[in-house]
Amino acid sequence: MPLIILRSPIPATLSYASTILCCISLFRLLNPSTSMVSALTILNERFERDASRNSHYVRAAPQRSSAYCSPKPGAFSSNCPKQSCSTIYDCKIRDVPLICVCDKELCGSVCVPPDAGCEGLAEVPNGNKTRAISGNENRVGQTVTYTCNSGYRLIGSSIVTCKANLKWTVPKERRGRCVSASGNTSPCGRPKVQPHTILDPAPDVRKSTYSDGEMFSYTCAPGYTAAAPGLAVTAVCSNGQWNIQDLTCSLINCGDPGTPINGRHLNRNYTFGQKVSYFCNEGYRIECPEHSPGCQVRACEASGHWSGNLPSCNTVRCPDLDNPANGYTKAGRNTVNSVAEYFCNPGYRLNGHNKRLCRRDGTWDGSDPTCSIQDCGPPPFVPNALRPIYSSTTFGSTVAYTCMDGTKFEGENAGRIVCQNSGQWLPAPPRCRKHCDSPTIPHARVYIGRAGGPIARGKVPSDTTLNVQCREEYQLKTVYYPRCNNGSWTRLPECIPKDCNDRPPIVKNGIARFYSTRHNDRAMYSCYVGYEMSSGSSSVVCRYGKWAGSRPVCTKKRCPWINSEPNVAKWLLGPEGQKNPWTRPETLSDSEELVKFECTEKGHVLRGHTHAICLNGHWSPPGSPRCVPQMHKQIPTDWLFYGRGK
């Protein structure tokens, strides 16, 4: 039967509660099977829907009255919603979507979210469930009635109602279930174990059989979830067998726990029991939110949420450094690896390291340096200077030097030095350089300066350079310019006799042999083959740059006259074989000249060599042949014929 809605305006004199009670009474009159709670819920929904479409409804401020939806006497729960209501308008708080429901079991009329509800009810084997109100079976205020099929009877509570604290009025073990009506049933054994599930109620380990109609609910164990969260499967003992559906439970996945800015976490497995560890990048420090210690490691819990809260990675900063007494510091942002520098005021020196590094743990390395007054210490010693007189050696103090007699002053600032902020005396102290005695160098003249100024005599100032020139017939062994160095001369050069720069004189038809052209070295002469030294000396000597001694003369060698017997003729043979008689004893034969010997008398023959050659002044072979009578061989006697003449 349709619900009749009154469209006329509500009189201002009629209270809102009276109007609602009137509507509920009329609704129950038309729908006698509907309870007071169900009537209130239906009216709430339809009234809200119509009110949103019809602006002519009068929405007067309601007068609160809970007479129509009072909880049972003595019922109380701290889990009830805090906001009570009379209409849906009492639940419009800060645009939060809430509805007004009636819970006569526990909480009364309260505001709850539209999707709030109790856990799902298991199916009833061999039976049915009937809802008192349309909509979700497990919504707050919903009443469900259990009935059994033919041949079965109901045991347990036949009606359950979802309370505002999201709990059913009847626990699982006492809710209605259908058993065989005949009573002739067989017991069931222990219910089977399904992976990652728990049984409610927990089975009694001492019990091995169960009666017909006994029931268990399977739910996923902590850390596991079914395809539909909160799904429960009921097992009912029916005629010796368990009517049961399989329940597949998988590990709960908590999802990505999040990554802090400037940080990271390890482990990409986000299922129940897994842990993730957080780390911050260099220069950052991990910090947990307030009231959430131990957030560096988070665990995926059975609720599907990560333990603790997401940490943050905050920049590591070292504390500000104090300025040292009589000094100051310069630092950057005080972040990791930044460097702070220490400085002292003028006139003070730093004791310790002048730099410190901000470490990863937020502390500075090293220790604080100090600034102490700058003291340059005693002024430096200057040879050949009078001992200076001073009263202080700290920053800004001045010391003056004076050179002794016989020395040369070299320096700046009139010999004054000042203690600087660096702890040094500046400028460099002067130098008091001793004079040198004029040197005596044998066979030399000594002049002042490289260009050859006046002759050096007496005392020569320090740093003066000399020019040494050797006398005639002498030369410098090494070209060097000596310098006076604080009373002593650097290496002095030496004058030595001159060398003969030219080679020894050349001799015609001869050669000179020598090893060097230095003073007193000797050159030896020799004539070519076929020549002999006829005059002069066989050697010359280098003396003071000149070769001393007479050169030799090399003349061609000749062979002597060959004495021979009168009957031996001598012929000089020319280049082309022509013969010239050699008859003059005073004439000598040239080298390599050839002589031929012949006998002048007939019947004579030469005994000895027929020719001789002049070699290097000697005849070869030596001596002269002889002419002797020619002798015939003896006639053999067997050649003679003997006979008588006629």
Cα 281 to its chain centre, rounded Å, is 17
How many other β-carbons are positioned within 10 Å of the β-carbon of residue 59? 11
This prediction has a pTM of 0.39
Q: What is the pLDDT of residue 61?
A: 32
Question: Residue 585 belongs to what H/E stretch?
Answer: none
Collect all residues with Cβ–Cβ distance below 8 Å to 459 and sequence separation of at least 6.
406, 435, 436, 437, 438
Confidence at residue 254, expressed as pLDDT on a 0 to 100 scale: 93
Question: Is 558 within 8 Å of 530 (Cβ atoms)?
Answer: no
Residue type at position 386: L
The topology under which CATH files domain 436-497 is Complement Module; domain 1 (2.10.70)
127-251 and 263-315 agree in CATH topology:
yes
**Cross-strand bridge partners of residue 484:** 489
* 3-class DSSP assignment, residue 102: strand
The listed CATH number (3.90.870.30, 2.10.70.10, 2.70.98.30, 3.30.230.10) that belongs to domain 263-315: 2.10.70.10
**Pairwise CA distance, residues 278 & 267, whole Å:** 10
Beta bridge partners of 614: 619
Do you find a cis peptide bond into 430, omega within 30 degrees of 0? no
Q: What angle do CA 553, 555, 556 make, to 5 degrees?
A: 165
What's the pLDDT score for residue 15? Answer: 40
Q: What is the pLDDT of residue 594?
A: 83
pLDDT value at residue 60 = 30
Tens-place pLDDT, residues 80-106: 888 888 877 788 766 677 888 888 878
For 558-629, the fitting CATH number among 1.20.1050.10, 2.10.70.10, 3.40.190.10, 1.10.645.10 is 2.10.70.10
CA 231 – CA 366 distance, rounded (Å): 64
Measure the CA angle with vertex 223, ends 219 and 225; round to 5°: 50
Residue ranges of domains in the chain: 16-112, 127-251, 263-315, 327-373, 385-434, 436-497, 510-556, 558-629
Q: Determine contact, residues 510/554, Cβ cutoff 8 Å.
A: yes
Residue 78: what pLDDT? Answer: 66
- Rounded Cα gap, residues 422 and 436, in angstroms: 37
Tokens of 134: 């349309």
The residues near 286 (Cβ < 8 Å, ≥ 6 apart) are 260, 263, 278, 279, 280, 295, 296, 311, 312, 313
* Superfamily (CATH) of domain 127-251: Complement Module, domain 1 (2.10.70.10)
User: What digits encode the pLDDT tens for the residues 486-529?
Assistant: 889 999 999 999 999 889 999 999 999 998 999 999 999 999 88
Q: Per CATH, the architecture of 510-556 is what?
A: Ribbon (2.10)
SS3 530: coil
The CATH number of domain 327-373, selected from 2.10.70.10, 1.10.10.10, 2.120.10.30, 3.90.1260.10: 2.10.70.10
Helix axes 16-30, 36-53, angle to 10 degrees: 110
Task: Please give the mean pLDDT across all residues of the chain.
Answer: 81
Strand 263-266 versus strand 579-581 pairing type? unpaired
> What are φ and ψ of residue 51, in 5° steps?
-65, -35
The stretches in the chain having pLDDT less than 70 are 1-68, 74-78, 93-95, 183-185, 229-230, 585-592, 634-646
Torsion angle, CA of 394/400/404/409, rounded to 10 degrees?
120
Query: CA separation (Å) from 60 to 63, 90, 353?
Result: 9, 12, 82
The confidence score (pLDDT) of residue 247 equals 86
Alpha carbon 534 to its chain's center: 92
Q: Give the pLDDT of residue 418.
A: 94
CATH number assigned to the domain covering 385-434: 2.10.70.10
CA nearest to 589, candidates 608, 566, 576, 573: 573
Backbone φ and ψ of 37, nearest 5°: -65, -45
The residue to which tokens 């003291």 are assigned: 375
Q: Are 260 and 313 in contact (CB under 8 A)?
A: yes
pLDDT for position 618: 81
- How far apart are alpha carbons 526 and 552 in whole angstroms? 9
